[in-house]
Structure 1
């Protein structure tokens, strides 16, 4: 079975565009994962510092250019909620990365298969 040259070029161009887009998105997602990991580390350090304080210690949180007093229990609760949300976001990003890597790999295999078959 022979594929016309124009159709083959169009198919190859579409596959290359898909591979290129996937590769760009992989870089973006990896940067987002690294940012989430940094945020998680900061949350972990903050949580451990707040946990080491006695219960009656005044805790202040930055709000814009000012600091507001919050009970340490509320701060711990907020930090725990943020940590869970961060874990969920990181998990979703890992799934997206896996999908993009699979798409990129499949595109590369399709291009190789087209060249191996000689296009017709």
Structure 2
């Protein structure tokens, strides 16, 4: 049973839009993953520097336009918490990227199948 040309054109357009949207989202997610990796590296460097300080060193954290004296163990705890959040965010972004890549692949496969089916009729 052949698909009418109008319906085929509409299906092809929808699949093409879905594929284009997926490609755009893949670009955004890859940029977000890169940004999270950069943040993670900065956090790692900061943690290394704080760990190398003697325990009695005064540590100040920026709050707005001022600096507040903060105990070293609190700074280490905050850095550890931020590291866990970044790992979680990165994992979620990688899952989203995998989903979008799968969606794009499926859209391309469906597009090709419809073109092949249309050329046979």
Matched positions, count: 120
1:108 corresponds in structure 2 to 108
> Residue deviations 1:50-97, cap 9 Å, x none?
000011100001111111110000000000000000000000000000
After superposition, residues 25-40 of structure 1 pair within 5 angstroms as 25-40=25-40
Aligned residue in 2 for 1:22:
22
Report SS of the residue matched to 1:54.
Answer: coil
- Structure 1 gap segments, 5+ residues each: none
State the superposition RMSD in angstroms. 0.8
Which residue number in structure 1 is paired with residue 96 of structure 2? 96
CA-CA distance at 1:118 after TM superposition: 2.3
Give, in whole Å, the separation in 2 of the partners of 1:114 and 1:34.
Answer: 36
Match of 1:44 in 2: 44
Q: TM-score, with normalisation over the residues of structure 1?
A: 0.97
Give secondary structure in 2 for the equivalent of 1:2.
coil
Deviation track 1:21-59 (CA, whole Å, cap 9, x = no partner) reads 000000000000000000000000000000000111000
Unaligned runs of 5+ in 2: none
* Moved beyond 6 Å, runs of 4+: none
Q: Secondary structure at the match of 1:118?
A: helix
Q: Name the SS for the 1:55 alignment partner.
A: coil
TM-score by length of 2: 0.97
Instruction: Give 2:57's aligned residue.
Output: 57
Aligned-partner SS, 2:41: helix
